[in-house]
Structure formats: structure tokens, C-alpha cells
Amino acid sequence: MRNEAHYDGEDTDRVRAPMPLGRMGRRLAEIAADNVQHRSIDLYARLAEVAR
């Protein structure tokens, strides 16, 4: 994940500073930082049985 604090500073003759994240980039960063829920495959098997 991109840490915006690492990108502070101005352009130099060797390094060009990246553009700040826009609205979409910030939202994507929030989504990427969210925890992923882990579920057992058995849960999906039971849900499929109920759906039949």
C-alpha cells in the first residue's frame, strides 16, 4: 500500500515528486486497507444447499 507520507517533498534534478492522490485514489486506498473477512467453504456449501 502506498504511504503518502513517503512522498512529501519537491521535485529534484534526479527525482520527480508524484502527484497526490485524487478522490478516486484515496477511496481505492481506503478499500484496499479494509480487512478481508475469511469464511469457511462449508458456509458456502450450506448456503448453496438452502438455495436449492
Q: What is the per-residue pLDDT across 18-38, written as a single tens digit (0 to 9) for each?
A: 777 788 888 888 888 888 788
Residue 6 has pLDDT above 70, yes or no: no
How many domains, in total, are found in the chain? 1
d(CA 47, CA 4): 41
Average confidence score pLDDT of the chain: 80
User: Alpha-carbon torsion 21, 10, 12, 14, what sign?
Assistant: negative
At 21 the three-state DSSP class reads coil
Q: What is the model's pLDDT at position 16?
A: 82
- Domain span at residue 15 reads 4-51
Q: What is the model's pLDDT at position 5?
A: 67
